[in-house]
Amino acid sequence: MRPYAFGVDIGGTAVKLGLFRTTGELMEKWSIPTRTEDGGEHVLPDVIASLRAKLEERAIPWDQVEGAGMGVPGPVKEDGTVMRCINLGWGVFNIPEQIRTLEPRIHRFRISNDVNAATLGEQWRGAAQGRKNVFMITLGTGIGGGLVINEKITNGVGGAAGEIGHFLVEPGETEICKCGRRGCLEQYCSATGLLRQAKKALLERPEIPSVLRSEAELTAKDVCDAAKAGDALALELLEKLGDRLGWALTAVTSTADPEVIVIGGGLSNAGDILLEPIVQGYRAHAFHALRDTEFTLARLGNDAGIYGCVRMLM
Amino acid sequence: MRPYAFGVDIGGTAVKLGLFRTTGELMEKWSIPTRTEDGGEHVLPDVIASLRAKLEERAIPWDQVEGAGMGVPGPVKEDGTVMRCINLGWGVFNIPEQIRTLEPRIHRFRISNDVNAATLGEQWRGAAQGRKNVFMITLGTGIGGGLVINEKITNGVGGAAGEIGHFLVEPGETEICKCGRRGCLEQYCSATGLLRQAKKALLERPEIPSVLRSEAELTAKDVCDAAKAGDALALELLEKLGDRLGWALTAVTSTADPEVIVIGGGLSNAGDILLEPIVQGYRAHAFHALRDTEFTLARLGNDAGIYGCVRMLM
């Protein structure tokens, strides 16, 4: 294997890039803005330009580079075809083909969904290091998930493995999810979902005192901070989130029985105040053969993606 | 690879055995009773005796046999430790070790849960032939499930991958499931579950005419037969089963996104009258990226297990 490799994690606002030694060491990371205008047509050329510039800066020739792994925010088929990345403005096209056209000197190229890549990153060098079978769920604006089986990403036939954010959990819901349906897990257990539930609770239960009422612009982080400070309403909101998410995760373990579930995404920065009710909800609802699944918080933060992208090349 | 192999599918009343050529051809199948008395201690010696007798009968020496694959009705860990097979009277012990003690001439040995093995059988030579990623659900006395990823069984850390029969689907349930909890999928969507729901509907809704009222000893098959004959109550029961099971299966595909879901087990003999409401229920509740998952009925029936057991050796 050649000595260097790139990890490229494409997000809706920034592309995170990493130059690694193929021994696994991150040498340098940086980021460039994601230019989503013109149907996202500048994104890949910008990435290639940035990789070229980095090699030039470090005087590393292309034939010393094993390749690049890429994560994108949307489903990816086994052949590298992306099935619409809404946040990038992309339609349906084959990424490896376009990459080869842009830069034929790239020796090897791998692509996956960004959360799948991040799951592999956590499995390789993060919270699930040393485990072969891992599920990661990310709680942020939405909910993402990734499944690693036998140290390999499971993409699924349509690239949608791990996408449990739109599992129907509340048939009676009246508000519409961004997917167009109602009652998705994401509407309750993402950061956005927690905030929505908090605002609802504050309106519907004016008799309950809470420090959350004094926030001018309430955020999900405020709810977690209030819970840490002992606010009863905030604690109840996290308990409900944990119960529902824990229950939904029993469906995941019933399917794949991974060794560990990693909780990631922006909301996971809240730490144990979030993790504990999820674990409690899980154990309360899990079939006995599945009750001992381990839970852990993600460890690599925003770097998980670039680690996983490089790992895909190995 | 040596020219012959055995598949051994251990059930609660009978052990199904198959002698295969390692090219994949089933040469002969037979069965022996499962002696569950004395904590099931005769089961494995009986199996070994039957394999020896078959080789003697055919004048095949052990050094022409690649090995034996075995399926057992309970969770199996990666190292071959069974975690209590209640139907066999077994506690916790390591099967490969015991097999080697009983018959050191067995060249290679593999073991898995019986439904996992059957899933691999359907993937290799049955309804899901040619597909790499398959989920099978079996609807019988209980509900079982198996996950094949990249043509390999996913056992899971505790051997419980695929065990979605005890996923909680009805928090308000008052009757107790055989697992000790309430509201498990199995209580509604197994053959036993369908029968339970039918009896309940007949009692609770005496105003609805149904041919099911005239059955002396109602069975799940009667319900399916009545539905085929157009009985409105029976059709409604299958529609409800399909809606609930289809929804639960969206959790499976959200996790692993397999190419195809195989519906097996005794209840699946009902055919399309069962399959169609499940598919309809699934498509109604699935996230758009998962809506096109294929569904099919199992094809190998009781032979799926021995096929899968042999495939494990390859």
Mean pLDDT, rounded, of chain A = 96
Return the pLDDT at A300.
97
Contact B274, B267 (CB under 8 A): yes
Which residues of chain A have a CB within 8 Å of the CB of B134? Answer: none
d(CA B308, CA B125): 9
* Chain A residues 90-129 with a CB less than 8 Å from chain B: none
d(CA A106, CA B129): 36
Burial class (CB in 10 A: 0-12, 13-18, 19+), A165: buried
Tens digits of per-residue pLDDT, A292-312? 999 999 999 999 999 999 999
Tens digits of per-residue pLDDT, B200-244? 999 999 999 999 998 889 999 999 999 999 999 999 999 999 999
Residue B279 CA from chain centroid, whole number: 19
Judge if ipTM > 0.90: yes
Element (H, E) at B187: helix B186-189
Of B53, B52, B37, B40, nearest in space to B10 by CA? B40
Tens digits of per-residue pLDDT, B127-170? 999 999 999 999 999 999 999 999 999 999 999 999 999 999 99
DSSP state of A120: H
Cβ-defined contacts of A127-132 (< 8 Å, 24+) = A127/A260, A127/A262, A127/A296, A127/A297, A127/A298, A127/A299, A127/A300, A128/A259, A128/A260, A128/A262, A128/A296, A131/A258, A131/A259, A131/A260, A132/A259
Of residues B158, B163, B292, nearest to A158 (C-beta)? B292
Return the pLDDT at A14.
94
Ordered strands of the B26-33 beta sheet: B26-33, B14-21, B4-10, B65-72, B108-113
CA distances from A59 to A53, A55, A62, A65 (A): 10, 6, 10, 12
Nearest CA in chain A to B253: A161
Cβ–Cβ contact A255 with B under 8 A: yes
E-strand stretches of chain A? 4-10, 14-21, 26-33, 65-72, 81-85, 90-94, 108-113, 134-139, 143-149, 152-153, 260-264, 294-297
Contact A66, A116 (CB under 8 A): no
d(CA A96, CA A103): 10
For the four alpha carbons of A14, A15, A21 and A25, in that order, the dihedral sign comes to positive
Interface test with B, best of A77, A185, A255 (most B CBs within 10 A): A255
With an 8 Å Cβ cutoff, are A255 and B257 in contact? no
Cβ–Cβ contact A157 with B under 8 A: yes
Q: Is the pLDDT confidence value at B84 over 90?
A: no
Burial class (CB in 10 A: 0-12, 13-18, 19+), B62: middle
Q: Is the pLDDT confidence value at B83 over 90?
A: no
| pLDDT classification of B119: cutoffs 50, 70, 90 | very high
| The CATH number of the domain covering residues in B4-125+303-311 | 3.30.420.40
d(CA B260, CA B276): 15
Between strands A14-21 and A26-33, the pairing is antiparallel
Domain edges within chain A: 4-124+306-311, 129-298
Which residues of chain A have a CB within 8 Å of the CB of B289? Answer: 75, 83, 158-160, 163
| pLDDT classification of A198: cutoffs 50, 70, 90 | very high
Contact A249, A262 (CB under 8 A): no
Cβ–Cβ contact A293 with B under 8 A: yes
Return the pLDDT at A216.
85
Within 10 Å of residue A264's Cβ, how many Cβ atoms? 29
The DSSP code sequence of A283-298 is HHHS-GGGTT-EEEE-
Which range among A276-285, B80-89, B177-186, B188-197 shows the weakest confidence by mean pLDDT? Answer: B80-89
Average pLDDT over residues A70-83: 91
d(CA B16, CA B37): 18
d(CA B261, CA B269): 16
Largest Cα–Cα separation, chain A: 68
d(CA A296, CA A18): 25
d(CA B211, CA B202): 10
A4-124+306-311 adopts what CATH topology? Nucleotidyltransferase; domain 5 (3.30.420)
Return the pLDDT at B240.
98
In CATH terms, the superfamily for domain B134-298 is ATPase, nucleotide binding domain (3.30.420.40)
State in words which class domain A129-298 has.
alpha beta
C-alpha dihedral (A220, A222, A224, A226), degrees to nearest 10: -150
Cβ–Cβ contact A159 with B under 8 A: yes
Return the pLDDT at A220.
97
Interface test with B, best of A72, A85, A157 (most B CBs within 10 A): A157
Nearest CA in chain A to B287: A166
With an 8 Å Cβ cutoff, are A251 and B253 in contact? no
Of B245, B215, B17, nearest in space to B137 by CA? B245
Interface test with B, best of A123, A243, A287 (most B CBs within 10 A): A287
Element (H, E) at B134: strand B134-139
Q: Is the pLDDT confidence value at B32 over 90?
A: yes
Average pLDDT over residues A191-207: 95
Within 10 Å of residue B243's Cβ, how many Cβ atoms? 18
For the four alpha carbons of A301, A306, A307 and A312, in that order, the dihedral sign comes to positive
B58 φ/ψ angles, rounded to the nearest 5 degrees: -95, 0
Cβ–Cβ contact B257 with A under 8 A: yes
With an 8 Å Cβ cutoff, are A133 and B149 in contact? no
How far A83 CA lies from chain B's nearest CA (Å)? 9
B130 φ/ψ angles, rounded to the nearest 5 degrees: 90, -10
Please report which residue ranges of A157-190 form alpha helices under DSSP H. 186-189
One fold for both B4-125+303-311 and B134-298? yes
Return the pLDDT at B14.
94
